[in-house]
Amino acid sequence: VPDRTRPGGRHVISLSSEGEFRLIERIVTRLRLGDDVVVGPGDDAAVVAAPDGRVVATVDVLVEGRHFRRDWSSGYDVGRKAAAASLADVVAMGARPTALVVGFAAPAELEVTWAEALADGLRDEAALVGASVVGGDITAADAISVAVTAFGDLAGRDPVTRAGAKVGDRVVVIGRIGWAAAGLALLQSGRGDRPLADAHRRPEVAYDAALAATASGAFTSLVDVSDGLVADLGHVATASAVSIRLTAAALPIDAEIAQAAEELGIDPWEWVAAGGDDHAFAGTVSGDLPQGAVVVGEVIPPGGGPVIGFVDRDTPVNRGHEHFTST
Amino acid sequence: VPDRTRPGGRHVISLSSEGEFRLIERIVTRLRLGDDVVVGPGDDAAVVAAPDGRVVATVDVLVEGRHFRRDWSSGYDVGRKAAAASLADVVAMGARPTALVVGFAAPAELEVTWAEALADGLRDEAALVGASVVGGDITAADAISVAVTAFGDLAGRDPVTRAGAKVGDRVVVIGRIGWAAAGLALLQSGRGDRPLADAHRRPEVAYDAALAATASGAFTSLVDVSDGLVADLGHVATASAVSIRLTAAALPIDAEIAQAAEELGIDPWEWVAAGGDDHAFAGTVSGDLPQGAVVVGEVIPPGGGPVIGFVDRDTPVNRGHEHFTST
């Protein structure tokens, strides 16, 4: 596959013209390895510290055309977003993220600079929590996909699962909700130049607040909101064999979101209750409220109604993102 | 997306008609969790034992149309093959595989039974080394891709890297070489019914021999042959700052391969020297020869020639698989 030259005349180096091994070299030189890395990229596998004697592990896959569009998001944006999805899952288990490995599939004609920007985004998002990109695999495919596996260390604590919510606990949210959904709506309506559209391109995850809260043992249960607040708290309720009642009036609707909703003539509540890509943390607490947490509901005994619902509003029809439904 | 009914009248349940959450339930019930699993599938992340205080981690991505074809390989085959690629990398670092997490992207219209068979294949290949599938992510995409991240435990030993080969070491191979390349050639020539074609569909990896050899500290360096014997031993030579001289006459050309080569009118040597998908183990030893190892060359001082070459034959032009080249 020969190099292409863009209409503007700029010379473009594609993945195929660069070749796999030089591409890997280009990417590896952009990474920075933290203290948890025992063996970094370049061998059959990486070796990462797991001082706790256990390792937390999770994977998320982002696919072009489903989770991002190249005309809306840069390679850097996609790197940030892909890393955030997995890092937030590690934090939601109560662990400190240590490392990422990345499976990257892309068309042979993709510009090398896009892949480099992706690596930069992965590196920078990981750096927010002190984690490093330690390995990966690159292969050709018709569309871009990025599979990020993240690891974490529990520092001797129990993992914070979905199954620990107790009747009487308060239900709390840490971090933005509704921003990514609002940003996507702006992009879909041709308003991608608004600052809020960046919330779709890459989330701003409340890692520090969530890490501090889990380190202090604040949560009885915790999830990363990836399918939507109602759907994910529904998972908590089911796993904990309790019911959850949310107060719609307590859900924070930030000014930026209210303004975008007004402009688009849309009720912002659906974004806040069912939007997924902000990677907020939702959980239950029995003791002191952790810093940055907003109380949005309470845990009640199971039975006598749906496992999740609102006391002051109908539950949204779209209870979360189903990747294979056509709706 | 409604269910489709095949021409034969068999009712087919697709991923989209089943929905993401029920699909995950279907898959999770097929898994079996071993002793290394602290928290299995169903939460934000899994928790896996890392008794050594370090964890070995690697990812490999298989893409439909590049690494497998659905008319040549079953879902089960692809699961076995995808797991093997990552498990072999863990073993090649000198570690015992403990767990897998899997990122799976697939078209909405894919039959659920294909995804279930994939999960069975991943589970069964992992079980060969006592590892478990502990988590994953499923998303829609135009083509199937499977990103498998594998973890392993070093049991207190140093990782066996590519950088440890010493002048005077013998170069050895454990496991099949050339089988997968021969199998692919048979499939490409319409002879997919031959038993050897199965070597492309799923490798038979010499896990036990390699695990026993690494546990006894036999290797000074070790790689999983995924790019081809010459290419991967070239990586060893470069990383170790030595040269490697192979003896072509010492490369085992198994009877099945010789027969397929004769039938296709092809020199089998290219399959053996440059074929990659068998996941044989190639390394260097300074002491006793481990069980199952075949000596194929020696480590010599650097300089005075290419880092990798044959003493009795020209080095093949195709020195390994480059995923983005068009050749």
Cβ–Cβ below 8 Å for B44 and A223: yes
Distance CA B197, CA B68 (A): 12
**pLDDT tens track for B130-168:** 999 999 999 999 999 999 999 999 999 999 999 999 999
Q: Which helix (H) or strand (E) holds A181?
A: helix A179-188
- Chain A nearest-CA distance from B148, in A, is 8
Q: Residue B322 has what pLDDT?
A: 56
Residues composing chain B: 327
Cβ–Cβ below 8 Å for B139 and A95: no
User: What average pLDDT does the segment B10-16 reach?
Assistant: 82
Q: For chain B, what is the total number of helices (H) and then of strands (E)? A: 10, 14
Indicate which of A16, A17, A59, A146 best probes the interface with B, i.e. most B CBs within 10 Å of its own CB. Answer: A59
The candidate with the shortest Cα–Cα distance to B86, out of A26, A78, A149, A39, is A149
Report the share of chain B in percent with pLDDT over 70.
93
**For B262, which DSSP code?**
H
Q: What ipTM was estimated for this complex? A: 0.93
φ, ψ at B91 (rounded to 5°): -65, -35
Chain B environment of A149 (Cβ under 8 Å): 57, 59, 101, 103, 147, 149
Cβ–Cβ below 8 Å for A324 and B16: yes
Q: Which helix (H) or strand (E) holds A152?
A: strand A145-153
pLDDT tens by residue, chain A, 327 residues: 333 334 444 578 999 888 888 899 999 999 999 999 999 999 999 999 999 999 999 999 999 999 999 999 999 999 999 999 999 999 999 999 999 999 999 999 999 999 999 999 999 999 999 999 999 999 999 999 999 999 999 999 999 999 999 999 999 999 999 999 999 999 999 999 999 999 999 999 999 999 999 999 999 999 999 989 999 999 999 999 999 999 999 998 999 999 999 999 999 998 999 998 999 999 999 999 999 999 999 999 998 788 999 999 887 655 455 556 543
Confidence of residue B31 (pLDDT cuts 50, 70, 90): very high
**pLDDT tens track for A105-118:** 999 999 999 999 99
Backbone Cα Rg of chain B: 21
Interior/surface letters A166-185, b for 16+ CB within 10 angstroms, e for the rest? eeebbbbbbbbbbbbbbbbb
Chain A environment of B49 (Cβ under 8 Å): 53-55
B14: nearest CA partner in chain A:
A324
Confidence of residue B20 (pLDDT cuts 50, 70, 90): confident
Residue B130: Cβ within 10 Å count: 14
Cβ–Cβ below 8 Å for A136 and B105: no
A137: nearest CA partner in chain B:
B60
Confidence of residue B326 (pLDDT cuts 50, 70, 90): very low
Strand partners for A309: A245
Residues 6 or more apart whose CB falls under 8 angstroms from that of A163 comprise A221, A239, A240, B43
Residue B7 scores a pLDDT above 50: no
Residue B102 scores a pLDDT above 90: yes
| Residue A128, both tokens | 């927010």
In chain B, positions 240-279, which contact chain A (CB-CB < 8 Å)? none
- Whether residue A243 contacts residue A308, with contact meaning beta carbons closer than 8 Å, is answered with yes
| Residue B255, both tokens | 């009877």
Residue B3 scores a pLDDT above 90: no
Residue B19 scores a pLDDT above 90: no
The candidate with the shortest Cα–Cα distance to A36, out of B152, B155, B57, is B57
> How big is the CA angle at B121 (ends B120 and B127), to the nearest 5 degrees?
90
- Whether residue A219 contacts residue A284, with contact meaning beta carbons closer than 8 Å, is answered with yes
Distance CA A5, CA A23 (A): 19
- Whether residue A126 contacts residue A133, with contact meaning beta carbons closer than 8 Å, is answered with yes
Strand partners for B149: B59, B101
B153: nearest CA partner in chain A:
A47
A19: nearest CA partner in chain B:
B324
Chain A environment of B134 (Cβ under 8 Å): 57
Residue B5: Cβ within 10 Å count: 10
| Residue A100, both tokens | 């990422």
Residues composing chain A: 327
Cβ–Cβ below 8 Å for A47 and B93: yes
Cβ–Cβ below 8 Å for B42 and A93: no
Cβ–Cβ below 8 Å for B44 and A224: yes
Q: Is A67 an interface residue toward B (CB < 8 Å)?
A: yes
Q: Is A307 an interface residue toward B (CB < 8 Å)?
A: no
Rounded to the nearest 10 degrees, how much is the dihedral formed by the CA atoms of B58, B29, A152, A275?
110
Distance CA A231, CA A248 (A): 15
Distance CA B142, CA B176 (A): 34
Chain A environment of B322 (Cβ under 8 Å): 19-21
Q: Residue A316 has what pLDDT?
A: 60
A47: nearest CA partner in chain B:
B56
B5 SS3 class = strand
- Chain A nearest-CA distance from B20, in A, is 6
Residues 6 or more apart whose CB falls under 8 angstroms from that of A22 comprise none
Q: Residue B35 has what pLDDT?
A: 95
CA atoms within 13 A on the CB side of A195: 5
Strand partners for A271: none
Distance CA A176, CA A195 (A): 15
Residue B189: Cβ within 10 Å count: 14
Cβ–Cβ below 8 Å for B149 and A55: no
- Whether residue A188 contacts residue A306, with contact meaning beta carbons closer than 8 Å, is answered with no
Give residue B268's identity as a one-letter amino acid code: P
Q: Are strands B11-12 and B4-5 parallel, antiparallel or unpaired?
A: antiparallel
| Residue B207, both tokens | 């896990």
Q: Which helix (H) or strand (E) holds A210?
A: helix A207-215
Question: Which residue stretches of chain B are H helix?
Answer: 15-18, 20-28, 75-92, 112-127, 179-188, 198-201, 207-215, 229-240, 255-264, 269-274
Residue B319 scores a pLDDT above 90: no
Distance CA A77, CA B67 (A): 28
Distance CA B253, CA A1 (A): 34
The candidate with the shortest Cα–Cα distance to A137, out of B145, B204, B126, is B145
**Number of CB pairs, chain A paired with chain B, less than 8 A apart:** 256
Q: Is A22 an interface residue toward B (CB < 8 Å)?
A: no
Distance CA A327, CA B75 (A): 27
In chain A, positions 82-121, which contact chain B (CB-CB < 8 Å)? 88-90, 92-93, 95, 99, 101-105, 108
Distance CA B160, CA B220 (A): 7
The candidate with the shortest Cα–Cα distance to B209, out of B120, B102, B88, B324, is B88
- Whether residue B146 contacts residue B78, with contact meaning beta carbons closer than 8 Å, is answered with yes
- Chain B nearest-CA distance from A46, in A, is 5
Q: Residue B316 has what pLDDT?
A: 60
- Chain B nearest-CA distance from A263, in A, is 31
Taking the model in full, what pTM does it have? 0.94
A289 SS3 class = coil
